[in-house]
Structure 1
Amino acid sequence: MPPQPGHLIDAAPITTATSLDNLSLLESISNNLREHGYSVHLNALPHLLSHCLLNQAIATPSKEFRPASIGRRSKLSLQTDIRNDQISWINDSTVAGIAWIAWIAELQSYLNAHLFLGLFSFESHYAHYGPGCFYGRHQDAFHGDANRVLSLIVYLNPEWQAGDAGELVLYTGTSPEERLVIHPQFGTLVMFLSEDIEHEVLVTNKDRRSIAGWFHLNQSHGGLIDPPS
């Protein structure tokens, strides 16, 4: 059965970044990840970048979106009882993609310098959740399968209202009560350790757009440099 809305339990690592310069934002993200394993920032992305990404997500032809799968590589499968959104991978073929990748590169460089995470590569996609869509509780990586290290989400929904639903729930502790419910408001950035934080997307009542991405370790083998998942 699709997940239902919950309550905001722990909001300590949430920061409104409107008045902070980018260096302060990066420092706050780094500190949150070190202390909590996750970080949430409102209005985190530069305003023009957020709008550029939104416009590109809307302009991307529907044929370039495909049903999102569960699993990785040879074990991919469609399981619409768990996940039923549509995705389109981001590359550097558009102005929005180039600007996004440049912003991510700065973030990656800072986190590697201050957290020594060994982040090597990054992949991301636009995600579109239509009314009634959701993504059940899951982890982005399992312990011992350390390719995905750090997960990232950016929301692209102007004028989002509480009744629109589609919240992200982060399970931040060992008990069900320890969870953080995040509204998918425009410009909000969410980051968390991929192996440590289970999460889910609650049923949305209207079209909901976001970017989801992952930083990877270098998993080079057989002459192939970190083949993407």
Structure 2
Amino acid sequence: MMSEFRLPETAAFDAVVDDLVQRGWSVCPGLLPAPLAQALEQRCRWLWQSDALTPAAIGRGSDEQVISEIRGDHTRWLEQCPPHPAQQAYLQLADSLREALNRSLFLGLESFETHYALYPPGSGYRTHLDRFRDSPLRTVTLVSYLNSGWSPELGGQLRLHLPEQTLDVQPLSGTMVVFMSDRILHEVLPAQAERASLTGWFRRRPDNPLQW
């Protein structure tokens, strides 16, 4: 199916692949095309205003709990949202990136899961890794920012805790951040305004078919 949004060419992902090989993370301003970012921002904010986003939990299964002091975003999985061309285009973009990562890095990435995430003013997410302790399947994290007109004084940076430094990434509309889920500690700093994104994970094929 042809997308009504113009998506990046395959070559646009070469720099992402190179970054992951060299350092395990990549920050890509403008990789998410502006019209698509704007359409996705409208969807995210519409869901928020419709009370369709719910407080996010930490942990998994029976250990899940909502602790807003640790994690303050409200989310909704894309698969649970009403269909929309912008969402389909985003999944198409993510699949092209998945294929590029598999082709160059042989990661065995099989699927992609993603949700809208909106942080109300004053909320954040304390330092964590994205891979669950009891499941190795989440392999590569993809964060796409949807905040038009964002300015640095609003805060809300993604802080990457790297071996020799910390790196703060502004959540500017169109910026995509890709990193290895089991290696990069990170946190979301509190913001003074609503902060919107799509956060997702490429999952690899399990060695054991009963593993999830």
Q: Could you state the TM-score of these two structures normalised by the residue count of structure 1? A: 0.82
Q: Where do 5+ consecutive residues of structure 1 fail to align?
A: 1-20
Cα displacement string for residues 107-128 of structure 1 (whole angstroms, at most 9, x for unaligned residues): 1111100111111111101111
Asked whether the 8 Å contact 2:38–2:148 carries over to 1, the reply is no
1:36-47 correspondence to structure 2 within 5 Å: 36-47=23-34
Residue equivalent to 1:181:
168
Residue equivalent to 1:160:
150
| Aligned counterparts of 1:155 and 1:76: Cα–Cα separation in 2 | 26
Question: Within the alignment, does 1:78 sit opposite 2:66 as a pair?
Answer: yes
Residue equivalent to 1:98:
88
Aligned-residue identity in percent: 34
Q: Could you state the TM-score of these two structures normalised by the residue count of structure 2? A: 0.88
Q: CA RMSD in A?
A: 1.8
Residue equivalent to 1:68:
56
Which 4+ runs in 1 deviate beyond 4 A?
none
Question: Within the alignment, does 1:207 sit opposite 2:194 as a pair?
Answer: yes
Residue equivalent to 1:17:
none
1:1-229 correspondence to structure 2 within 5 Å: 22-60=9-47, 62-91=50-79, 93-141=83-131, 145-173=135-163, 178-219=165-206, 221-222=209-210
Cα displacement string for residues 188-222 of structure 1 (whole angstroms, at most 9, x for unaligned residues): 00010000000000011111101100011123635
| Aligned counterparts of 1:122 and 1:75: Cα–Cα separation in 2 | 23
Equivalences, count:
201
Cα displacement string for residues 156-213 of structure 1 (whole angstroms, at most 9, x for unaligned residues): 011111110011000111x5xx111001011000010000000000011111101100
Q: Where do 5+ consecutive residues of structure 2 fail to align?
A: 1-7
